[in-house]
Copies of this chain bind each other. A is one copy, B any other.
Amino acid sequence: MGETGSVAGTRVGIVGTGWMAETHTEALRRLGIDVAGVAGRTPERAREVADRLGLATAYDSVEALVKDDSLAAVHVTSPNDVHAAQAAAALRAGRHVVCEKPLGVSAAETAALVRLAADSGLVNAVCFNLRFSPHNHNAAGMVRDGTLGEPRYVTGGYHQDWLLEETDWNWRLVAERQGNLRAVADIGSHWLDLVGFVTGRRVVEVMADLHTFVPERNHPLGEVGTFAGHAVADDVERVRERMTSDDAAGILLRLEGGVRGLCSVSQVSAGRKNRLTWELNCARGSLSWTSEEPEYLWVGHRDRPNETANKDPAQMTRLGAAVTGYPAGHVEGYPDTFRGLFAAVYADVAAGRPAATPAYPTFADGHDVVLVCEAVAESAQSRSWAPVRRDTP
């Protein structure tokens, strides 16, 4: 663990008042960072959350927050449609920025944001937190070290069930706030980023099929938190709404260096609460990991017994050990991934600028996943393979 001395006391502001605001607050505090306050849609909502979390300041507006010169950094945890604008405002105000995924709702806006961040010289990070479950870093280290030979084939997916029922609702179901993809953008993006990180290869071409299994939903009037949709009171007024966004998707993938893959994404898989899995077959061995059992990394071999490695810093690659906070068998879960991510980010914040090769996902990484998602949408629309258009100016 340890080594938080250098960042302790750094002041940070949070944009957003949902459960991600809480998750970020808690993870920042673990590092001794001072979460100064929060801004939301209204001053009242900000006050309520500030009081609940014991934060000193409830900002009147996002503008007020980003202009607070006592803040070293700003975290953007609002709905997707305002990520890019808020992140840009914070960068322009001179703040380092940590933004929730997706970085934006179009590649146009995220491309602009990447340029702005690069020009600013400020630390910029996007919350692909799952990279920081220690075995994901460990796996990336094994691939980089060449232990198992060249990566060839990567499969898996991300399944949830919180949008299974037609009575489930969340702002992610509103196209203007989520963007035009839903399951793929919301959770598929995690899988795509993670697999890119572990393999060290970028997706270059996709063939996708998008599925809307719940054709109509009851839209409750008023705001509904993530993972809370099925708890909306029965007497809230609802309107029937036709759905067009993806409940689920299947994607064939071609990555750099001849790597091939496929993934499945779904938010309507009853019983799968939050299950991301991946399996990577390399020329001499395989790796597999499952988010609901993060203590273990499966390592497959052809001619000797497969391994089920504990999260043991003494046995991991350097890359894996570097993000491991607790001894083997002391499970590090979901909250710990934010701790690891923020520890990496704030080492750069303490240095005042991004490292030459940042140890965390940057805006450039966030933009890249948006490009892949746009290729997914294009492919599903055209029923054909679509390239990831990285050459777009």
Binding site for B on A (CB under 8 A): 1-9, 19, 22-23, 26-27, 29-32, 50-55, 148, 152-153, 155, 157, 159-162, 164-165, 207, 209, 211, 213, 227, 230-231, 248, 250, 252-254, 260-262, 264, 266, 268-275, 279, 281-286, 291-296, 298-310, 312, 314-315, 325-336, 383-385
> Who on chain B is nearest to A309 by CB?
B305
- CB–CB A6/B301 < 8 A: no
What are 5 A-B contacts with C-beta separation under 8 Å? A155-B157, A270-B301, A292-B310, A330-B334, A333-B333
For the complex formed, measure the closest distance between the CB of A121 and the CB atoms of chain B, giving whole angstroms: 26
| 8 more A-B residue pairs beyond the given contacts A269-B281, A269-B300, A293-B331, with a C-beta to C-beta distance below 8 A | A2-B52, A19-B327, A155-B157, A211-B260, A262-B262, A291-B331, A303-B315, A333-B335
Residues of B within 8 A of A30 (CB): 26-27, 29-30
Q: Which residues of B contact A383 (CB under 8 A)?
A: 384-385
- Decide: A268 near B385, CB < 8 A? Known: A306-B309, A330-B334: no
Our pick among B268, B295, B334 for the contact of A153 (Cβ within 8 Å) is B268
* A270 and B284 form a contact (CB under 8 A): yes
Q: Which residues of B contact A5 (CB under 8 A)?
A: 50-54
- B contact residues around A385 at 8 Å (CB): 383
Judging by beta carbons under 8 Å apart, are A271 and B286 in contact? yes
Partner of A302, one of B50, B271, B333: B271
The list of the 4 closest CB pairs from A to B, nearest first, reads A271-B300, A8-B54, A274-B329, A273-B329
